[in-house]
Structure 1
Amino acid sequence: MEIKTLSLTNGKQTTQASLTAYLQTPTPKAPVQAFPALIFVPGGSMTHIPEEESEKTALTFAALGYLVFILRYSFVGEATPLYPAPLLDLAQAVSLVHHHEDSWHLNGKVAVMGFSAGGQVVALYNDYWQSTWLGEESGLTEAERHFDAAVLGYPVIDLDLGFPDEATLTKWTDDPAKYNASHHVNQANRPTFTWATVTDPLITVQNSLNYVQALQRENISQEIHLFDGGPHAMDVATDLVGPTVEPHKPHVHHWVTLADEWLTQTLSL
């Protein structure tokens, strides 16, 4: 495996964002000679990303046969207000993956996955990827911005459900209505897999429910799994990632297998 980090600054925008690629090279006798891409957008309250946990998540999915990328998107303080910078970063990441399809042994399928605040970035990208304004601000064509599936883990969806607080919200956006993700679902949204725990004390499960209901109204293909117990930031829910002592881990960990099965079907792998 080769790990490389690429800047997302380009002629259209200057950004602190970068994309770290966990590149796999197929061996001559391997049955798989090209991999689906999975771009992971971690949480971190828009101020940081937990690098060690993010890498373990990336390696979990790399072991399942995905070529995984971690998006280090723009943080609070790097753009004022923050939005739409993270969406432009994700658009650039998707485009970069498309442009390296042959050299990185990709099969043309691209999924995006986000947890917590990163889940909001992914949900909003799911809403807006085909929009005229995102195309104009990113300088990318619709084909360059295209992706095939979204995976959301305990996502922030709507900005009026208790997170972030009012002071933080002003740093995120001066137009909250534009970034309530459940309000902007449309026919262009891609198939979506959502999971959360109903006892999450930080990001209420109502976020996930609002988005799922919005997708359902538009008849978007989707799957949802709500786990009865578990705190915020369960991640892949192993002893290496997530809360140190948590009895719900073994059960919640099943989401990884469920998401892999869903992606395999959705991406026609």
Structure 2
Amino acid sequence: MFHRRGALATVAVSLLALGLGPGARAEAVPMADPAETIELWPAGPPGAEAVTAVETVLERGDPKGLRDRALTHIRKPALAVFRPKTPNGAAVMLIPGGGYERVVMDKEGYETARWLADRGYTCFVLFYRLPGDGWSAGPDVPLQDAQRGLRLVRSRAAALGFSANRIAIMGFSAGGHVAASLTTRFSARVYDRIDAVDDLSARPDLSALIYPVITMAAPSVHAGSRKQLLGANPTPEQIQLYSPDRQVGADAPPVFLLHAVDDKSVPVENTLLMFASLKARSIPTEMHVFNEGGHGFGLRFIAGKPVAAWPDLFTGFARQHGL
């Protein structure tokens, strides 16, 4: 797989994303893909009997010539590891988006992981399976990988120099739906125990949902994500179960929410619904809604906009809650 090679790749990272100031110009700089990965399932992922899709890396390109890759038809879900030079004792598991059709690698995965690692966080980018590829668990397949991934991160805490109770998750777009599902359904039994790792809690200690897909109900649903996850005609029961705003429990962790009003892909109402549900349950939450930003901005498309404040807003929220 792509992330098991240590060869140099030209990865696009803006100077702003590297923390070098809002007036800096985007440059293509040579960065190595992470050489350290952790496969989620030692004997292969569960429910693969009907899966025939071939795992593929898409080179999507970018108007500015920046590296922009995505992985489709994931067969061997894994965590790509980013170790900080100076660990701060906390970790973040990043869950990139892709509309449940693909998983973005660079823009919402590797670039954000590098930014956070520069600030002391041990980072793990989750490459999760997609529900349309024939896995027997269907719409619970991404949650299987998220639960297993979080447990694996927790199991490596001592070895990698962070605390097992200082682990955040950060999800973007459809990856935000995966993260929100883990935030609200971390204790749901969606796969059978395979080893001692599964005896650990899958509850994140903090959750960040970045322009997330939340609701599966009209009128604010992201139709593409719902179709990939639940099919063309989901039942009312499926809409209820797979809308994380309807699954918030009293034991949910603190949640950081970010969205832009001018998001044309995932309506800002998704974040507003999640905020209202968290507030109703008295879960510590902080919401930032910016007038301008669009969708999928990550760190790459924020220079010169008010939304450029979001990474520091997140780290401030994380520190406030012990991370």
5+ unaligned residues in a row in structure 1: which ranges?
27-31
Aligned residue pairs, count: 252
In the alignment, what sits opposite 1:224?
287
One-letter code aligned to 1:9: W
1:101 paired with 2:161, answer no
- Deviation for aligned residue 1:143: 3.6
1:57 paired with 2:119, answer no
Quick check: 1:92–1:138 contact (8 Å CA) kept in 2? no
One-letter code aligned to 1:262: F
In the alignment, what sits opposite 1:72?
127
- Deviation for aligned residue 1:13: 4.0
Cα distance in 2 between the residues matched to 1:21 and 1:56: 13
- Deviation for aligned residue 1:115: 0.6
Alignment of 1:178-257 (within 5 A): 178-236=241-299, 241-242=300-301, 249-257=304-312
TM-score (normalizing by structure 2): 0.71
- Deviation for aligned residue 1:224: 0.5
Cα deviations by residue, 1:158-190 (Å, 9 ceiling, x for unpaired): 012231246445449772321011111110111
One-letter code aligned to 2:174: A
One-letter code aligned to 1:147: P
- Deviation for aligned residue 1:78: 4.9
Quick check: 1:91–1:138 contact (8 Å CA) kept in 2? no
Name the stretch that deviates more: 146-155 or 166-175: 166-175
Cα distance in 1 between the residues matched to 2:247 and 2:192: 18
In the alignment, what sits opposite 2:146?
90
Quick check: 1:130–1:188 contact (8 Å CA) kept in 2? no
Cα distance in 2 between the residues matched to 1:91 and 1:202: 27
1:125 paired with 2:185, answer no
Cα distance in 1 between the residues matched to 2:227 and 2:44: 30
Quick check: 1:74–1:82 contact (8 Å CA) kept in 2? no
- Deviation for aligned residue 1:146: 2.8
Match of 2:223 among 154, 164, 170: 164
- Deviation for aligned residue 1:234: 1.1
CA RMSD, 1 decimal? 2.5
In the alignment, what sits opposite 1:5?
37
Alignment of 1:31-50 (within 5 A): 35-50=89-104
* Secondary structure of the structure 2 residue equivalent to 1:107: coil
One-letter code aligned to 1:95: R
Cα distance in 2 between the residues matched to 1:102 and 1:25: 16
Quick check: 1:195–1:224 contact (8 Å CA) kept in 2? yes
Q: Which runs of 4+ in 1 moved over 6 A?
A: none
Quick check: 1:5–1:18 contact (8 Å CA) kept in 2? yes
* Secondary structure of the structure 1 residue equivalent to 2:201: helix
Q: 1:250 to 1:125 in 2, by over 3 A?
A: same
Higher Rg: 2
TM-score (normalizing by structure 1): 0.85
Cα distance in 2 between the residues matched to 1:225 and 1:167: 28
In the alignment, what sits opposite 1:29?
none
Cα distance in 1 between the residues matched to 2:106 and 2:277: 34
5+ unaligned residues in a row in structure 2: which ranges?
1-31, 47-74
